Structures are given as structure tokens and as C-alpha cells.
Structure 1
Amino acid sequence: MKGGHRSFNLSLSISFAVIFLALVSWLLKVLYSLWWKPKSLERYLKTQGIHGPSYKFMYGNTKDIMELRIKARSRPAIGLSHDIRAHVNPFVYQTMINYGKVFLNWLGPTPELVVMDQKLINEILTNNTGDFQKIINITPSLKLLTNGLPHYDGDKWAKHRRILNPAFHIEKLKQMLPAFITCCDELITKWEEMVSRKGSCELDVAPELQTLSGNAISLAAFGSSFKEGRRILELQKEQFKLFMRGLYSGKSIKSRFIPTKESKRMVEIYEEIRTLFREFIEMRKKSFRTGNTNNNDLLGLLLESNLNEELNYSKSGTLTMDDVIEECKAFYSAGQLTTADLLTWTMIVLSMHPNWQERAREEVLQVIGNKKPSFDDLNHLKIVTIIFYEVLRLYPPTSLVRRTWKTTTKLGDFSLPANTQIMIPLVFVHRDTEQIGDDANEFNPERFSEGISRASKDQASYFPFSGGPRVCIGKNFALLEAKIALTNILQHFSFELSPTYTHSPSSLPTLGPQHGAQIILHKL
């Protein structure tokens, strides 16, 4: 009996010892990941002259970043200043003052190198070896919202980019001109009816221009399937609202483990959008087989490019049905926000600077008159073009660019450990007085009068659509649509800021006006 007790006690002791050792091992791994490793990296980078706020256990600098951002969002920017750095990213603004153009930040236990040095930026953006890759961090809820080319890297990105490129060639974009004009006519007619009642009208142009951009994408992407395209646009708007609601409430993390009402609805929308896209694609494929198809819209051009890829290479090098669906979804979500934000900020800025609004209108009336613009007409709009360049400099669609690398990598004179992240804050780089000039925080389109390369000392000082191999594939599409829209607006209206407008740029998800864009329209 006693022997049995001893054996039981021995087994119990061994079990407790095993559990204790496992617990100690786990705690040591946690301490290594959340304290020893980050502090070692911090000391290593300091020896190379890279400094920054000290790492804080587990959270890094994320609490400070969020607290400063919440405070900034709770108050408007000062007056109508174009120096929005402290408002859009107060943490980077304060840290830059203390540590300069290159400093270390901590996103939890992950080191992030914030880079505003022109030589280093040029090295990052123009790298063709694959050392600096885009950060691909898609949560389950974000994957339901968007995927496609912007979220790919390596060989997959290269294949998709190669197949998509022909669809965005400038000669192909010319074919979409009638679609853009049709959507602009619809907007102008609506605004004229609103203005005609009193001679002027105040409205928030931000949602109006989002609708315009969404309609243009629907028509340019699907042609005759315009109504169905609008349905997808409505679903994606609902999807985005649900995503943002979950992000701010913290439900996006919980939904990974426990389904919520919002996460279930997001899945339903995801499936409905995919079904609609699949039907469009199957219909268009049938048209291809019979030779009865019109390739003037994006979907037709994409399928044509994919077919050519299959003929010239192999079926394994083409896009699958799922690939095509995700690319169409990405085009919808990214294209709508980018163009809408550009047009919104252009109307706001031209309201702040009426002399430039008048110069742009005079050019439009001289080059185009009151007729519909042709592609060649748009190319002759020099003042309108430099206005867009300057608006993109001050208010780029995305306020930052991120990259990472998998192995120890050289950047300038620095030797950087694997899995370090890089963040390039465009709002800051575009306002570098050493590169742009003393008037870097002022609206001065003349700086682009001799081209983008002459607007700053180093061309790496200006990249509103990113740069290098990963420059935005939809750049020309967005600028063409924006030119047509602004041309039509200038032909029919003058506009000014409403007294109710609050200048408060916000960077989630793209750089837009936090409280809307209240503009007073006047019929010409």
C-alpha cells in the first residue's frame, strides 16, 4: 500500500515538474519575444546611429501612436493651413523633431524604421532585387473586403502585374473616355438642378464625388452591365462600413474566434459579390468564344490579356477565375477612393485659392470651350495638370508607404536585421523644405511647370502613387477620370468653401476630409 502511495506521489511530482518546466519554457519564450529580442535589436541599431523612442514591453510605441492620433482627430487642423503633418500623423511629427529624418519606432515587438531621407527612399523604391517587399498583412476581415495585386508580392505579384498591364495601357484607357463623360454628365445635371432653385447651393461634395467615381468605375469596368456594377459598388460600401465599425470597436479581433453579426454579414456580402463577378466573367468568356464581344471595358481588356498570356506562355501562367474576381474587386475599392479623394481635395484647394480656380477655368474654356473634351484636349490642359500634381503632393491618396524584408539587408550605410519594417510617410516627404523649397507647405502648382523632375531636388521627393516597380497600375486611369470630371465642373460652376467646412484631413483608410467637404456651388 505504501509502495503504491509512493509511486502515485512520484508520478504526481513528475507531472507537476513537467508542467512547471513547460510553463517556465513558455514564459522564457514570451520574455524573449517581447523583451530580450526587441531590446537587443534596439541596442544593435543604436550602434549604427539609429535612435528613437525606447521600446516598451509588449506594446512598443503603439499606445502613444493611438493616443496622439485620437487627440488629433478630436480637434480640427489650425485654420486652412496645408501643413497637416501634425494632424495626420502627430507621433511621426513629434518624433521627427527629436530624432531627425531616420528613426526607430516599435509596432508592438516589431521594429519599424521611419525613413524620410531622400537617398534611402530612392534606394527602397527603385530596388529590383526583391529585398524590399510590400508588407502583406491581410486579416480575415480585410481579405473579405479586398485582395488582388496591391496585396501580392514576389512571383505572384509579377505574374498578375504582367497580365494586368495591357489593360491599363494609355491606348486602352482612351476607349473608356465615353464612360467617364457619361457619368460626369449625370453629376452635372444633378448639380444644375440643385443650383437652379436659388442660384447657388451648398453641399458636401465628398460623397457626391465618391458616387461619381464609383459610377465611372462601374461603367468602365463592365460596360453594358452598368446596373449590376452599381450593385457591387453598393455592396462594397456596406462591406467597408462594417469593416471600419469592427476595426474601431475591436470586434475585428473577436470575429476571428467568435462570429459576430457584422462578420456574418461581411461573409454574405463577400459571397454575393463573388457570385456577381463570376456571372459577368462567364458571360464575357462565352462572348469571346463566339467572337461577339466588346473589349472597351476593363473586364474585356483583362480577359483578352489573360487569353493572350495563355496563348503565348502556358495555362499555368494565366489568372484563374478567383484571380480575376479579386483583381476586379481591388480595382473597384482602390480606384473609387483614390479618384474621389483627388477630386475632393482639388475642389477644396481651388476654393481656398480662387485665383488658381479661375486660371484653370480660363484654360478649359480656351482649349475645350463648352464641348465635350477629347483625349487630345485633355493632354493640352497644362494648368489643370500641374494643379493635380500639386494637390497630390499636399494630399496624396495614401499618407504612407510600407516595405519589409526577409533577411539581413543593407540600406545605405545601415545593416538592418531581418523582418524589420520600413515606413515612408508621404505627407512629410512631400513637404521637405530641403528638397521642395521654403514654400513646401504652400499651394504652388508653378513648381511643376517644367515637369515633375524639376519640382524638387530629388525625384524621390514626390511619389503620390508610390514609385519604382510597384508604382500604382491605375495611376493613368485615376488622372484621366479626374481631368474629365474637373473639366466638366469648371465649365458649369464656380465654387467656394462653405463657412461650415472644417479643415481636418484624416488618413483612414485614404487621406480624406474627416468632416466632409462642404462647398458652395454657383452656376456660371
Structure 2
Amino acid sequence: MELIETQVLLSLCLVGVCSLALYLYYIAWLRPESVRRKLRQQGITGPPPSSFLYGNSLEMKRLVIAEKSRGRRQGLVEIKHDYMPLVFPYFEQWRKAYGPVFAYSVGNVVALHVSHPDVVKEISLCSSLDLGKATYLKKTHEPLFGQGILKSNGDCWSHQRKIIAPEFFSDKVKGMVDLMVDSATPLLKSWEEMVELGGGTAEIKVDEDLRCYSADVISRTCFGSNYIRGKDIFMKLRALQKAVSRPNLLAEITGFRYFPTKRTRMVQRLNKEVNSLILKTVKEEGAGREQCASQKNLLQAILGSASDSLTSTSDSFIVDNCKNIYFAGHETTAVATTWCLMLLGLHPEWQARARAEAAELCGGRRSPDANALQKMKTLTMVIQETLRLYPPGAFVARETLQEMEFGGVRIPRGVNIYVPISTLHHDPDIWGPQAHRFNPERFAKGVMGACLLPNTYLPFGAGPRTCLGQNFAMAELKVILSLILLGFTFSLSPSYCHSPSLRLIVEPEHGVQLLVKKL
């Protein structure tokens, strides 16, 4: 009897193992291969998967390591603004081999790389909810974004956009300028003290100061007076970003992300701490809503929508959207400001032009107002050129939630479409032979006059999902840059090491060091 029971148990185990193997074979190979075959039949080729479970991802990682190693061996110190060969060498290699539209695989996800301007235009003009945000790495990134506006799709995204978009209309942003100026005071005082201690010149690594400034701005303007606790949230979100920035392919393939690793435990801990801080802030804000009804902010709009829905998921709705706004509202703007200062430090002639303009428009005041910001044409050109050369987002990422057609190609459901923003922003056929050079003058007549195909300028994304906070971001960039220009002169430090790196967004790997003097 015991022998029979043992044999039955072994048979059940064998059936379970075989079933699991077949399931993995189906989701890791058969399903993506079916998608690749449909694309090949229409002339869309690409690199064949080099690994059963990992697709092309191991090859991608190898090429990045090889490129960085080559750079270290050669001791490269020259600042080259075209960072695609360094950060994305595999895309450069595959574009040369397969053209501007090709397919590749990351794990069991089939991705379509699209840099053909005509196809990009079609994607940008598509307003269908069937073209949503890419779900690849959604499980891995869920602690950072949840089901908030940055990652949600369909009616859920449409509902959230209706709530959040009005809070970033230009008339609302104008009313936030004074708060933005106030948020800059600690940074300016800190730099003045460092310059005095340095005998008139100080080497300052600006990255963290700009993150603190941007965090303070988003906390004050969007979340009321709770900006001190907001700073704690940002610090933990930054740690959470670093923890989830590396792909977790095993989780994406199997759908199970809670493997008991050290990294997973850290992500879970940070996620709980961030959620707790946000809910505590929300509770305090909710208690004071009636007393401060005249002072509306984004958090109150989110709270109002959650209370109106009366659903059991209202807490997750609030927390997820607060996380999304915290992340998108400060991280990308801080990095964009960092790149602006790097370029202005490298080009003193443009620094002088932007400073003279700010001084003229601000008159006897020490800070700009909303009217002055609108008239800052030179600074606007500098920011637009910076966002062309160093767009914080590396891609416009979409997914076909149903079968769709672009550029005459029927794209099966579930294909992730990646439009490489930097490839388009550095294309000589679009921007001219000096596409890799810093030249804000190209934007003298706006984006329409800057290049042959304006629809390929995508610093804030494309289509209906264009960044909601672009007016807010532009105002914040102008405020902090004009205040720094009015207070200091600066140049790029010899210790600066130019190495753009992808950590969800493209940022300086080793930070940006400036030699700063007080005016």
C-alpha cells in the first residue's frame, strides 16, 4: 500500500513538473514566437532571441558593459551629447542592421523599436484607448507606480486624467510661481554660504540640491503645507526607485514577483513606509480641508474624487496617484535642471545671454513673477535645447492592448512599442548636420521652426498621454534657473565626468559638479 501511495505521489509530482515546464515553454517561447512570426510575415525583422527565457536582454546587457569598458580603457573625457551609443549600444547596432523599425525580445515580451518619423507621427496622433502604456515591467515597477496615472490604461487612466489635468492648467501654474520662488530660498542661501567658505569660489555637486528644491516645490504646490513630510516621502521614493530600476525578468515571465530575495524584502519595506507616510499626510490634509476650502491643491482634488467614488480601493487610488505625482513632478524636473546647468556651465556665452535677459525682465526685483517667466525667450530656448539633447525620458513607450495598424503594419495585441526619443532628437535628417551640438538658437522661432518634423520633438511624450505637468515643469525650470543666474556665475568643474545613465530616466551617473561664484 505504501509503495502504491509513493508511486501515486511521484506521478503527481511528475505531472506537476511537466505541466509547469509546458506552461513556461508556452509563455516564454511559443506565445512570443507566434507574435514574432506575424511581424516577420509583414517584413519586420530583428535580432533573433539569444536566450530561451531572456530573449535579447542578456545580449543587451553584454553590449552595455562592453561599451562602458571600452570607454574606461580609452579614458574618454570628451563630452559627447549623443549618448545613444553609450547608453543604448544595442539599438544603434540593430538599427544599422534592420532599419528604423525592428522587433526584439526582452524575456517573453516582444518589443517593436520605431524610429521612422512617419510611423512615429501615426503613433503620436493615435487617440484610441487600445494604445496604452506599456505593461512590461509593470509588476516590477508596481511598488513605485501602482495603478496611478503614469501606468494605468483605458477608462481607469481616462478618469484619473480628468481629475489631475485641470490642476496643471496654465492659470493654476501662474498661481504657483511665488511658492516656487520661496522653495528656492534654502538652496540659494546654502550656495552663498559655500561660496563664502570657499573664499569666493565653491565646487558644488548640484544634483541633490536640485532634487530637494523640486521636492519642496511639488510638496508645497500640490500637497499643501506638508512639505517637510513630503521630503521624507521623496527620500524613500528615491531609494525605492533605485531598488526597482533593474528589470526583474523572472517576475515578468512568471507573474510572481515576491521571490524572497534581499532586494524584494527591501522593496516591500520601502513601499510600506512610503504608503504609510502618504496616508498620514492625506489624513491630516483631509482633516483640514473644510478649514482651508479656499486653498485648493492637487491632493484635495484626488481626495475629493476618492470620496466621491466610495470604493473600497480609495486608499490605493490616493496612494498610487500621490506616488505618481511625487515621482513625475520632481525627479524628471530636477534631472532636467541638472542637465541645463551642465550645458550653461559648458557654454558661458549662453549663460551670459540668459542672465542678462533675466536681469532685464525682473527689473529691480530679486526674483521673477509669472509675467516675467512668460517673456523669457532666451531661457526658454536653452531649456528646449536641453530637453532635445537630454530628454529625461528615454522612450515613448506604448502597448497595443488590441491588434492595431501603424505604418501599414498590423501589430498584434500585446506588443510593446518603443519610440527612442534621443534617436529622433539627434537625427541629422531632422535637425540638420549640427544635430549633436548645443545650439538654443535653433528654437528662436519655436519648435515649428527648429526642425523639419516638429512631431519628432518629444521631451514630454506624445499623443493623448503627453505629460500633464509640462506647464508646471517649464515654470519650475525657469524659476530655479533664473534665480541661479541672477545670483551666481558658474562653470563646469574639471572633476565632472560625463556619463549619462539610465535609471528609469536618463541622468548623470556621477552627478554634475560646478565651480560657482557669487555675483
With normalisation by structure 1, the TM-score equals 0.88
Partner of 1:45: 39
Aligned to 2:393: 398
- Aligned equivalent of 1:228: 229
Percent identity (aligned): 31
Identify which of 43, 67, 81 aligns with 2:62.
Answer: 67
1:467 to 462, 467, 471: 462
Question: In 2, are the aligned partners of 1:175 and 1:296 still within 8 Å (CA)?
Answer: no
Q: Superposed, which structure 2 residues align to 1:227-376 within 5 Å?
A: 227-244=228-245, 256-260=257-261, 263-289=264-290, 291-295=291-295, 297-303=297-303, 306=305, 310=308, 315=309, 320-369=314-363, 370-376=365-371
* Counterparts of 2:419 and 2:472, CA distance in 1: 24
Equivalent residue letter for 1:170: S
Letter in 2 for 1:347: L
Letter in structure 2 aligned against 1:195: V
Q: Compared with structure 1, are the counterparts of its residues 519 and 281 closer, same or farther at alpha carbon in structure 2 (3 Å cutoff)?
A: same
Say whether 1:127 aligns with 2:126.
Answer: yes
Backbone CA RMSD of aligned residues? 3.2
Question: Could you say if the C-alpha distance between residues 256 and 28 of structure 1 is closer, same or farther in structure 2, counting changes exceeding 3 Å?
Answer: closer
Partners of 1:479 and 1:318 lie apart in 2 by: 37
Distance across 2 between alignment mates of 1:178 and 1:322: 32
One-letter code of the match for 1:84?
Answer: Y
The within-5 A match list for 1:68-83 is: 68-74=63-69, 75=71, 79-83=78-82
| Contact 1:218-1:233 at 8 Å conserved across structures | no
Residue type of the alignment partner of 1:218: S
Q: CA deviation at 1:60?
A: 2.0
Query: 3-state SS of the aligned residue for 1:511?
Result: strand
Contact 1:159/1:317 (8 A) holds in 2: no
Tell me the CA shift for residue 258 of structure 1: 4.6
Partners of 2:130 and 2:401 within 8 A in 1: yes
Aligned equivalents of 1:268 and 1:282: distance in 2? Answer: 21
Distance in 2 separating the partners of 1:247 and 1:109? 13
Q: Is the 8 A contact 2:373 2:479 kept in 1?
A: yes
One-letter amino acid matched to 2:452: K
Which of 499, 506, 515 matches 2:501? 506
* Distance across 1 between alignment mates of 2:250 and 2:38: 35
Partner SS state of residue 289, structure 2: helix
- How far is the alpha carbon of 1:214 from its aligned partner? 1.3
**Cα distance in 1 between the residues matched to 2:424 and 2:214:** 28
CA distances 1:20-65 after superposition (whole Å, capped 9, x unpaired): 7887676566555544554554444233221221233413211111
- Is residue 2:376 matched to residue 1:381? yes
CA separation of 1:17/1:150 partners in 2, compared to 1, >3 Å: closer, same or farther?
A: closer
1:426·1:464 contact (CA, 8 Å) conserved in 2? Answer: yes
> Which among 415, 422, 440 is matched to residue 417 of structure 2?
422
Report if the CA contact (8 A) 1:167-1:302 is conserved: no
Shift in Å at residue 242 of structure 1?
Answer: 4.1
Structure 1 stretches of 5 or more lacking a match? Answer: none
Distance 2:485 2:79 in 1: 22
Change (3 A) 1:298 1:519: same
Question: Are the aligned partners of 2:236 and 2:274 in contact in 1 as well (CA < 8 Å)?
Answer: yes
Partner of 1:189: 189
Question: Any idea what SS the aligned residue of 2:102 has?
Answer: strand
Aligned length: 509
Q: Structure 2 CA distance, aligned partners of 1:233 and 1:397? A: 18
Distance change in 2, residues 1:292/1:132 (3 Å) = closer
Deviation at 1:103, TM superposition (A): 1.3
Cα distance in 1, alignment partners of residues 93 and 40 from structure 2: 19
Aligned twin of 1:436:
431
Q: Deviations over 1:471-517 (max 9, x none)?
A: 11111111111110000000011111111111110111211111110
Could you tell me how far 1:232 is from its partner in structure 2?
Answer: 2.0
AA aligned opposite 1:179: L
Q: Is the 8 A contact 1:34 1:57 kept in 2?
A: no
Tell me the CA shift for residue 345 of structure 1: 0.2
Rounded to whole Å, the distance in 1 between the matches of 2:421 and 2:196 is 41
- CA gap 1:263/1:57 in 2 versus in 1, 3 angstroms: closer
* One-letter code aligned to 1:402: A
Q: Does residue 410 of structure 1 match 2:396? A: no
- Residues of 1 paired with 2:44 and 2:93: CA distance? 16
CA–CA distance in 2 between the matches of 1:26 and 1:319? Answer: 33
Mapped to 1, the partners of 2:471 and 2:326 lie a distance apart of 15
Q: How far apart are 1:389 and its partner, in Å?
A: 0.6
Q: Which has the larger radius of gyration?
A: 1
* Residue identity opposite 2:322 in structure 1: C
Q: Does 2:141 correspond to 1:142?
A: yes
Structure 1 position 103 matched with structure 2 position 98: no
Give the residue type in structure 2 aligned to 1:177: V
Question: What do residues 283-324 of structure 1 show as CA deviations (whole Å, max 9, x unaligned)?
Answer: 3334334x54342543245446x39x95xxxx4699934312
Partner letter of residue 89 of structure 1? F
User: Quick one: structure 1 residues 202 and 25, their matched pair in 2 at CA, closer, same or farther if it must change by over 3 Å?
Assistant: closer
Task: Answer yes or no: is the 8 Å Cα contact 1:399–1:427 preserved in 2.
Answer: yes
Contact persistence 2:137–2:248 (CA under 8 A): no
Aligned partner of 1:153 in structure 2 is 153
Give per-residue Cα distances to partners, 1:3-26, cap 9 Å, x unaligned: x9xxx99x9999999987887676
Contact 2:395–2:420, Cα closer than 8 Å, also in 1: yes
Question: In structure 2, what is the Cα distance between the partners aligned to 1:12 and 1:241?
Answer: 48
**Cα gap change, 1:140 to 1:47, in 2 (>3 Å):** closer
Cα distance in 2 for residues equivalent to 1:247 and 1:458: 33
Instruction: Flag the 1:265–1:29 CA change in 2: closer, same or farther, 3 A.
Output: closer
Q: Which amino acid aligns with 1:61?
A: N
